[in-house]
């Protein structure tokens, strides 16, 4: 069995990894390079947390992935680690039902979070001012992945183990692609064609190319996956001050404000991101110039919650690309017009952490014929935004 995977981001790389581990021959096709700067997997860091309110399906995927991220770090044995066990801090307002559901779900999964009082916070994490935050949780077993390096390490390992890497961009598959209501047929895709005119043949094909999926399947996915601009800002820390490193500062999510962040990893500074859908982005052609309003919003949050860094300089900005479904649920399903084509995408800003478990699921679908969970099925994807997964 020869499987061609298009896209060397986190979903594609882990899918290729699990396919190869299952004995399939694997070709991984990527236009710009593994975890490149245009991609959703291309930033320096990603938070791995298991809390998802009542959405146990995502908590379980994250828990499965957590073990695999650690194992990748151990296999890589790098001096610059791929996994940072920082813990992840939750800040919630009042008797927030989402936070209460998170505690219940994580307890059922045997990974209950610590509940921290204001006094606990002052003792353990004096960096943060949690005035007005009524509930603070700590997922102590979670942390931060060095995103770009981890995906690149995974792809390098894939090539060492016999996977084939093709640097090329593929043309949209030839199909009678008339949208999500297309009746499944017996049509079999024999090969892909690159923009250079080279055919890449395979028995089965997986498209895991994030923000590029709507361009490859325009009638099927237009409006069902929407690429958007997302700003993150890195703030420099004081010289010689180790309080903001991964050894002493957790990653965090401030749910009332929609702000998340990571400690200073690899000397890049404290990262502050805004988890709200930005404007649309063309992942190929748009400039990644910073949005001044987003930078100022990040700075205002830092001044409020980490006052020691109120005047910290901006040392780097990055515009990432989310690829959102209407609800935030993933899209992992077989193409309705080709019986040997699968689509894995719709990470919606929270998908990176789940890459290992998603790759394992896609491998089972491709090799064993497993059906997708209804939450991930194409049939449930609409064009009306009603985000419910965070």
77-99 pLDDT, tens digit each: 999 999 999 999 999 876 788 89
Average pLDDT over all residues of the chain: 94
pLDDT of amino acid 269: 98
By percentage, how much of the chain surpasses pLDDT 90?
89
Number of domains making up the chain = 1
How many degrees, rounded to 5, is the angle at CA 209 between CA 355 and CA 228? 90
pLDDT of amino acid 114: 97
Q: Tell me: the pLDDT tens digits for 246-271?
A: 999 999 999 889 999 999 999 999 99
By percentage, how much of the chain surpasses pLDDT 70?
96
- How far, in Å, CA of 390 to CA of 379, rounded? 21
**pLDDT over 50 at 178, yes or no:** no
Is 212 part of any domain?
yes
- How far, in Å, CA of 131 to CA of 113, rounded? 21
Closest CA to 289 of 317, 254, 248: 317
Q: At what angle do helices 10-21 and 355-368 cross, to 10 degrees?
A: 50
Chain-centroid distance of CA 81 in Å reads 19
- How far, in Å, CA of 6 to CA of 274, rounded? 29
Is 40 part of any domain?
yes
- For 12, the token pair is 């594609």
Residue 117 or residue 262, greater confidence: 262
The answer to whether 351 and 208 have CB atoms below 8 angstroms apart is: no
Is 389 part of any domain?
no
Chain-centroid distance of CA 164 in Å reads 24
The answer to whether 25 and 64 have CB atoms below 8 angstroms apart is: no
Close Cβ partners of 114 (under 8 Å, ≥ 6 residues apart): 137, 138, 140
Q: Which residues of 195-225 are buried (b: 16+ CB within 10 A; e: fewer)?
A: eeeeebebebbbbbbbbbbbebbeebbeebb
The answer to whether 166 and 200 have CB atoms below 8 angstroms apart is: yes
Is 369 part of any domain?
yes
**pLDDT over 80 at 174, yes or no:** no
Is 386 part of any domain?
no
Residue with tokens 């779900």: 105
Instruction: Supply the CATH number for residue 264's domain.
Output: 3.30.9.10
Is 385 part of any domain?
no
The answer to whether 204 and 3 have CB atoms below 8 angstroms apart is: yes
DSSP 8-state code for residue 238: P
pLDDT of amino acid 175: 56
Is 387 part of any domain?
no
Q: Tell me: the pLDDT tens digits for 330-356?
A: 999 999 999 999 999 999 999 999 999
Residue numbers of the domain that contains 269: 2-380
**pLDDT over 70 at 164, yes or no:** yes
């Amino acid at each position: 069995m020869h499987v061609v995977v298009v896209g060397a981001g986190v979903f594609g790389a882990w899918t290729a990894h699990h396919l190869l581990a299952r004995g399939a021959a694997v070709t991984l096709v990527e236009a710009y390079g593994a975890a490149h700067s245009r991609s959703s997997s291309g930033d320096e860091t990603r938070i791995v947390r298991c809390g998802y309110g009542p959405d146990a399906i995502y908590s379980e995927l994250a828990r499965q992935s957590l073990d695999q991220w650690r194992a990748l770090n151990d296999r890589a044995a790098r001096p610059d680690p791929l996994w940072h066990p920082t813990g992840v801090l939750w800040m919630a307002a009042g008797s927030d039902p989402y936070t209460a559901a998170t505690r219940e779900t994580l307890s059922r999964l045997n990974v209950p979070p610590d509940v921290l009082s204001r006094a606990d916070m002052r003792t353990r994490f004096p960096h943060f001012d949690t005035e007005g935050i009524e509930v603070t949780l700590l997922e102590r077993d979670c942390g931060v992945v060095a995103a770009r390096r981890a995906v690149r390490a995974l792809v390098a390992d894939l090539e060492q183990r016999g996977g084939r890497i093709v640097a090329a961009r593929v043309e949209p598959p030839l199909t009678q692609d008339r949208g999500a209501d297309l009746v499944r047929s017996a049509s079999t895709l024999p090969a892909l064609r690159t923009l250079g005119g080279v055919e890449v043949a395979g028995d089965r094909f997986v498209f895991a190319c994030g923000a590029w999926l709507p361009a490859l399947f325009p009638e099927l996915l237009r409006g069902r996956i929407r690429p958007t601009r997302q700003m993150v800002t890195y703030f420099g820390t004081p010289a010689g001050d180790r309080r903001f490193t991964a050894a002493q500062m957790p990653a965090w999510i401030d749910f009332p404000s929609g702000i998340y962040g990571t400690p200073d990893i690899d000397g890049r500074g404290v990262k502050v991101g805004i988890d709200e859908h930005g404007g649309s982005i063309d992942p190929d052609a748009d400039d990644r110039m910073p949005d001044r309003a987003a930078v100022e919003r990040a700075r205002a949050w830092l001044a409020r919650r980490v006052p020691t860094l109120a005047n910290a300089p901006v040392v780097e900005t990055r515009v990432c690309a989310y690829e959102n479904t209407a609800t935030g649920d993933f899209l992992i399903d077989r193409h309705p017009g080709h019986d040997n084509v699968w689509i894995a995408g719709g990470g919606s800003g929270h998908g990176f952490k789940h890459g290992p478990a998603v790759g394992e699921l896609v491998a089972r679908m491709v090799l064993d014929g497993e059906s997708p969970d209804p939450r991930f099925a194409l049939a449930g994807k609409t064009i009306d935004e009603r985000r419910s997964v965070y």
